[in-house]
Amino acid sequence: MSDEYDEDDLKRRMDGAIESLRKEFAGLRTGRASAGLLDPIKVEAYGALTPINQLGNVSVPEPRMITLQVWDKSMVGAVDKAIRNSGIGLNPVMEGQLLRIPIPPLNEERRAEIAKLAGSYAENARIAVRNVRRDGMDALKKMEKDGILSEDEQKAFSEDVQKLTNEAIKRVDESLKAKQDEIMQV
C-alpha cells in the first residue's frame, strides 16, 4: 500500500467532522445553562477578536444561570456588549467584574428554530464526512489505475471506506436526535 490511501487518516478526518458538530451543538441554547453557550462569542479585545473564555472564568452555578468573572476590569463593558449583540437572546447583569447571565425559558417557536438549526449543522457534518469518503474513494481508484491495487483489493478497501462512512453518518444522526430531544424538552 502507498501513502495515498490511509484508512486511519480517513477515520481521523471523519471523527474531526463529528467533533466539530458537537462543538457547534454546545453553542445552541436548550433552555438550560451551559458554559459552551458562550463559546461562539468573540470580543474585540486588545486589538483582536478574542474568544470569551479567554477573558474570564465561565461557570454554571445553577440550571438557569451562567456567571462570567472577567479578569480585566477594562474589558467588562466589551464582554457585556458582545454577549448582548451575539444574537442568542441573553442579557447579562453586571456586578463589578462579575456578569450574571440568566437563561430565559424558550418558547415553542424558538425551540423549533433551534432544532432546525441543529439539523443544518448535522447536514454540514454529513457533507464533510461524505467529502472525506470521496477523497478515500478517489485515492483507491487512482491506486487501481496506477497498478498499485488489484480490482478486488480496490473493491475491498472501498467497502471498508463505505463502512466507515456509514458509521460516521450514524453517529451524526444519533448526535442530532439527542440534541433535538434536549432542545424540545420543556
| Cβ-contact 110, 35 below 8 angstroms | no
pLDDT value of position 160: 93
Ranges of the chain with pLDDT below 70: 1-4, 29-31, 186
- For domain 7-25+107-184, give the fold: Topoisomerase I; Chain A, domain 4 (1.10.132)
pLDDT value of position 186: 65
pLDDT value of position 2: 41
| Cβ-contact 136, 182 below 8 angstroms | no
Sign of CA dihedral 176, 51, 75, 69: positive
pLDDT value of position 124: 94
Q: What is the pTM of this model?
A: 0.68
Pick the CATH number of 32-102 from 3.40.190.10, 3.30.1360.40, 3.50.50.60, 3.90.1150.10: 3.30.1360.40
- 66 three-class SS: strand
Instruction: Give the C-alpha separation, 122 to 78, whole Å.
Output: 32
Query: Do 7-25+107-184 and 32-102 come out as alike in CATH topology?
Result: no
Domain boundaries, the chain: 7-25+107-184, 32-102
Residue count of the chain, please give it. Answer: 186
Grid coordinates of 82: 458582545
| Cβ-contact 55, 75 below 8 angstroms | yes
pLDDT value of position 71: 92
Grid coordinates of 69: 468573572
